[in-house]
Amino acid sequence: MTTDDSELRSLRQRLDAEEAAYADLLAAVDRLVQFPLPLERLPEQPGLMQRLNALCEVPPTPSPAGLLGRVWGRIWAQLAPRFERQQEFDAALVRVLNGQLEEGARLHTHLRDLAATLVRYFQRLLPVIDARDRLSSALTTTRGELILEAFDRRQEALARRIDGLMALRDRLEAVASKTQALADSLAAEAPPPAVAATARLAAEDAAYVAFENRFRGSQEEIGERLSSYVELFREAAPVIDLGCGRGEFLDLLKAAGIAARGVDGNASCVTACRTRGHDVVHGDLVDYLSTLGDASVGGLFAAQVAEHLPPRALSDLLREAARVVRQGGLLVLETVNPRSVIAFVDIYIRDLTHERPLHPETLRFLAAAAGFSDVRIEWRSPVDPSSRLTAIPPEALPPLAVQRMNENVERLNALLYAPQEYALVARR
């Protein structure tokens, strides 16, 4: 995860937390709005206050007549001050209670109005925030689209420059190879007509070497891919590498201590191999095999050679190979698998020097007819599984439909994405 992704996730979590807090606050304020006023909770209070006010008003004290009146007058004269003070106290207390109740009622009404106003404010605030967020998002999207459009234009321009540089690189590689080939031919000090012919052939050979360097892969890559063949030739020395090319397999055999010689018709390749200390013959493959004695070779190897030969030359090569390989010796021919559509499209038809594709059963039959036994086919260079068609999951369709669809997927994978190469492995 990148730093930008981490910051974005943190912002999202913070936004979620703030939105949750806002929702809780709005709900709390909404609950506060629902509180009842005191008069709503105590509907009998106004009546009680009226009763209290009525009781606070002391009616006039009747004065009885006669002796009883005189006695009552004396008693009242002594008690009147106390009753008056009590009356004043009760009146003051009632006024205080009336005032507190009135102010309390006004305060509660004000608080409820305030809470209702806050709720309306929060309810109006959320749409405003949403509208602002949508506007900001729209502006951000527009800016992002403009940036992506500008980036696409720059990427297209960069791709054109890269294509131009790759084409220039290919031309430089071809020119460099041709220059080296011309220098080698001129160093031979041949007569002028021979120099011209040699230079022309050297230029053609150099151009094909540049083509291989560009499309087949580096020497390290090819060496790694061919390394699995070494053990087959552990007891098969001496080994002849037919069409040894840049000498990747000769490097592997030399490192394993297996005596080997290379043969190639490309002068540039021969020069490069000899420079690295390999014993390499420059010439036609069939012509070279014809110079060898019967059963004089332990093993023959040819990678990506058979598809370059016309049918007659291929038959001659297999016949001579069966003659020169000793009993128990080994022949390995690696070639492009024409039963793989991706290999045919991406590998075979790219090389204009390919003569014709070789079906594995055809090559097996020709090798057996030439005199080899224990002839088998080994599949090489499987396609990356991520490039193959994907099977349908069982839950996607009814079971029978899934089975039929996946059977068809397997058939298409076997046709389109079969191994890109195969090797004919034959014993004498």
Cβ neighbours around 343 below 10 Å, total: 23
Residue 240 has pLDDT above 90, yes or no: yes
Q: Which of 122-126, 169-173, 176-180, 284-288 has the highest mean pLDDT?
A: 284-288
Please report the pLDDT score of residue 153 as a whole number.
76
Q: Which residue has the tokens 């009356």?
A: 87
Q: Which residue has the tokens 């389109």?
A: 416
DSSP string, 204-229: HHHHHHHHHHHHT--HHHHHHHHGGG
Q: Of 3.40.50.150, 3.30.1950.10, 3.40.50.1100, 2.60.40.10, which CATH number belongs to 284-427?
A: 3.40.50.150
User: Is the peptide bond preceding residue 62 cis, with omega within 30 degrees of 0?
Assistant: no
Range from 30-34, 299-303, 365-369 carrying the lowest mean pLDDT? 30-34
Question: Residue 241: which pLDDT band, with cuts at 50, 70 and 90?
Answer: very high
Please report the pLDDT score of residue 293 as a whole number.
95
Residue 269 has pLDDT above 80, yes or no: yes
Mean of pLDDT values over 308-318: 95
Residue 76 has pLDDT above 60, yes or no: yes
119: Cβ–Cβ under 8 A, 6 or more apart, which residues?
26, 29, 30, 33
Q: Of 156 and 228, which is predicted with more confidence?
A: 228
238: Cβ–Cβ under 8 A, 6 or more apart, which residues?
259, 260, 261, 297, 298, 299
Mean of pLDDT values over 366-392: 90
Under 8 Å between Cβ of 132 and 39: no
Q: In the β-sheet with 239-242, what is the strand arrangement from edge to edge?
A: 280-282, 260-264, 239-242, 297-303, 325-336, 421-427, 373-380
Residue 334 phi/psi, 5° resolution? -100, 135
Assigned token pair, 209: 């070497």
Query: What SS3 class is residue 346?
Result: helix
Q: How far apart (Å, rounded) are the C-alpha atoms in residues 276 and 272?
A: 7
Amino acid in position 68: L
Range from 92-106, 165-179, 271-285, 376-390 carrying the lowest mean pLDDT? 165-179
Beta-strand ranges (E) seen in 153-266 are 239-242, 260-264
285: Cβ–Cβ under 8 A, 6 or more apart, which residues?
242, 243, 263, 265, 302, 305, 317
Question: Residue 328: which pLDDT band, with cuts at 50, 70 and 90?
Answer: very high
Amino acid in position 219: Q
Residue 73 has pLDDT above 80, yes or no: no
Please report the pLDDT score of residue 268 as a whole number.
87
* 373-380 and 297-303 strand pairing: unpaired
Question: Residue 234: which pLDDT band, with cuts at 50, 70 and 90?
Answer: very high
Q: How far apart (Å, rounded) are the C-alpha atoms in residues 415 and 392?
A: 18
Q: Of 347 and 206, which is predicted with more confidence?
A: 347
Q: Which of 307, 293, 289 is nearest to 344 (CA)?
A: 307
**Domain locations along the chain:** 3-57+73-151, 284-427
Mean of pLDDT values over 28-47: 72
Question: Residue 289: which pLDDT band, with cuts at 50, 70 and 90?
Answer: very high
Mean pLDDT for all residues in the chain: 79
Please report the pLDDT score of residue 10 as a whole number.
79
Count Cα atoms within 13 angstroms, Cβ side, for 31: 6
Q: Of 153 and 162, which is predicted with more confidence?
A: 153
Cβ neighbours around 89 below 10 Å, total: 11
Please report the pLDDT score of residue 168 as a whole number.
54
Q: Of 176 and 198, which is predicted with more confidence?
A: 176
Residue 230 has pLDDT above 90, yes or no: yes
Question: Residue 252: which pLDDT band, with cuts at 50, 70 and 90?
Answer: very high
Q: Which of 274, 223, 275 is nearest to 248 (CA)?
A: 223
Question: Residue 279: which pLDDT band, with cuts at 50, 70 and 90?
Answer: very high
Instruction: State what percent of residues in the chain have pLDDT above 70.
Output: 73
Please report the pLDDT score of residue 351 as a whole number.
83
Mean of pLDDT values over 114-131: 70
DSSP 348: I
Please report the pLDDT score of residue 390 as a whole number.
87
Residue 355 has pLDDT above 70, yes or no: yes
* 260-264 and 239-242 strand pairing: parallel
Residue 423 phi/psi, 5° resolution? -125, 130
Assigned token pair, 406: 């996946």
Query: E strand or H helix at 335, and its extent?
Result: strand 325-336
Residue 305 has pLDDT above 90, yes or no: yes
Mean of pLDDT values over 172-190: 55
Put residue 64 in one of left, alpha, beta given phi > 0 → left and psi -120 to 50 → alpha.
beta
DSSP 36: P
Please report the pLDDT score of residue 198 as a whole number.
46
Residue 113 phi/psi, 5° resolution? -65, -40
* 280-282 and 260-264 strand pairing: parallel
